[in-house]
Amino acid sequence: MFKGLIEDARAISNRDPAARSLFEVILLYPGFHSVVLHRIAHWFYNKNMFFIARLISQVNRFFTGIEIHPGAKIGKGLFIDHGMGIVIGETAEVGDNCTIYHNVTLGGTGKDKGKRHPTIGENVLIGAGAKILGPFKVGDNAKIGANAFVSQEVEANTTVVGIPARPVRKGSEKIASIELDHVNIPDPVAQEICRLLVRLERLEKIVEEEHGEGLDERLKNMPHEEFQEMDYNI
C-alpha cells in the first residue's frame, strides 16, 4: 500500500504545475490526504468492518471537505485538485490517472439498491461542479466540462458540456486528463442560437416571398387579430 501511495503522490506532483516537490504534495495536499484515508477505509470495508470504514471516511470528510464512501473503488494516480465539496458514492468506480476538480458529484438518482453510481474510465477529466448521476459508464479519455450534468453514458475520447451534457468533441485520438484543458471547448448553447438564427432568416425569406416586399413595415402596423389569421403556407 505504501508504494501505491507514493505513486499517487508522484502522479499529483507531475501533473500539478503548482506543486514544487513530492514532499509538498505529501504534507500539504488535501486531495492526496483524502485518497490515503479512503484507501485505508476501503481496506476495512472489504473486511466487512463497515463501522470503522465509515468512521474513517467521515474523518476524511471533516479534515479535507471530500466525501468518498469507503465502498467506492478508486484506481491509481487519481488527482483531486482543490477537492472541496467532492462527493463519490458507494458503488462508484474511478479508473487510473483521472483528474477531478472541486464540487464534483459521482452520485445516484434515487434509493435503488445495487449498482447506482457511475463508472469512470481511465484518463478521464471531470471539471469543477460537474454532476454525474446514475449507474452508467464514462469512457476512457473522456472530458466532462465544468458544471455539466451527465445522466447517460459518455463514449470514450469524447468531451461533453452543458445541462444536460451533450458531446461537443469526439475523436479516436487519446487525450489524457493530464492536459488539464477543460476551458477551450465549444459552447453548445451558442451553437444552438446560431442554428435558430439561420432558421429564422430562412423563414423570413419564405414569408417575404409569399407576401411581397416591405413585410416588416406591414407587420408592425398590422392589427393583432389580422396577424394571427395570416396564412404563411410554410
Q: Measure the CA–CA gap between 68 and 165, rounded to whole angstroms.
A: 24
User: In the predicted model, is pLDDT for residue 208 greater than 70?
Assistant: yes
What are 11-62's pLDDT values in tens digits? 888 888 888 888 888 888 899 999 999 999 999 999 999 999 999 999 999 9
Q: Is residue 209 part of a domain?
A: yes
User: In the predicted model, is pLDDT for residue 176 greater than 70?
Assistant: no
Based on the fold, state whether residues 99 and 209 are members of the same structural domain.
Answer: no
Structure confidence at residue 210 (pLDDT): 72
C-alpha cell at 206: 419564405
Residues 6+ apart with CB under 8 A from 48: none
Looking at every residue in the chain, the average pLDDT score rounds to 83
- Reduced to 3 states, what is the DSSP secondary structure of residue 169? strand
Tell me how crowded residue 174 is: count the other CB atoms within 10 A of its CB. 11
Based on the fold, state whether residues 68 and 182 are members of the same structural domain.
Answer: yes
The range of the structural domain enclosing residue 220 comes to 189-229
pLDDT band for 234, please (50, 70, 90 cuts).
very low
Structure confidence at residue 9 (pLDDT): 86
Q: Is residue 234 part of a domain?
A: no
Q: How many domains does the chain have?
A: 2
